[in-house]
Amino acid sequence: MPRHIQTTLLDPTPRAPGGFRSLATATHRGSTTLFASAREVRDDWCPERVPYAYGLHGTPTSLELAARVAQLEGAEHCFITPGGQAAIALVYFAFCGAGDHVLVPQSAYGPNNDLARDLLARLGIAVQTYDPMIGAEIATLIRPNTTLIWCESPGSATMEIQDVPAIAEVARAAGVVLALDNTYASGVFFDAYAHGVDVSIQALTKYIGGHSDLLLGSVSTCSDVHYQALGQARSLLGMAVSPDDCSLALRGLQTLWVRLAQLQASTLQVAHWLKARPEVERVLHPALPDCPGHGVWLRDFTGSTSVFSVVFRPTLAGEALLDFIDRLNLFHLGYSWGGVTSLVAPHFNLNRDVRQYGDRLVRFNIGLEHVDDLIADLEHAFSQADNHGDGQ
Distance from C-alpha of 267 to C-alpha of 246, rounded to nearest angstrom: 28
pLDDT of 351: 82
Count the helix, strand and coil residues of the chain and give each as a percent rounded to the nearest 5. Answer: 40, 15, 45
Which residues pair with residue 309 across a beta bridge?
Answer: 284, 363
Point out which residues pair with 127 in neighbouring strands: 102
Residue numbers in the chain where pLDDT is lower than 70: 386-392
Q: Residue 389 has what pLDDT?
A: 59
Encode burial over 19-54: b for 16+ CB neighbours within 10 A, e otherwise.
eeeeeebebbeeeebeeeeeeeeeeebebeebebbb
**Residues 306, 365: contact at Cβ < 8 Å?**
yes
User: Residue 273: what residue type?
Assistant: W
346 preceded by cis ω (within 30°)?
no
What pLDDT does 392 receive?
47
CATH of the domain spanning 255-388 = 3.90.1150.10
Secondary structure of 299-340 in the HEC alphabet?
A: HHCCCCCCEEEEEECCCCCHHHHHHHHHCCCCCEECCCCCCC
- CA 378 from chain centre, in angstroms, equals 27
Which residue ranges does the chain devote to CATH 3.90.1150.10? 255-388
Question: Of 370, 150, 352, whose CA–CA distance to 269 is shortest?
Answer: 370
Looking at the chain, the domain(s) classified CATH 3.40.640.10 span 29-250
Yes or no: domain 29-250 corresponds to CATH 3.40.50.150: no
pTM of the model: 0.94
Predicted local distance difference test score (pLDDT) of residue 140: 98
The amino acid occupying position 51 is P
**Quick check: 75 and 220 in contact, CB under 8 A?**
yes
The pLDDT, as a whole number, for residue 338 is 95
pLDDT at position 367: 98
Q: Which amino acid is at 248?
A: L
Distance from C-alpha of 188 to C-alpha of 106, rounded to nearest angstrom: 24
| Alpha carbon distance 249, 67 (integer Å) | 12
Strands (DSSP E) contained in the chain are 77-81, 101-105, 126-130, 146-152, 177-181, 199-203, 217-221, 280-284, 307-312, 332-333, 343-346, 361-365
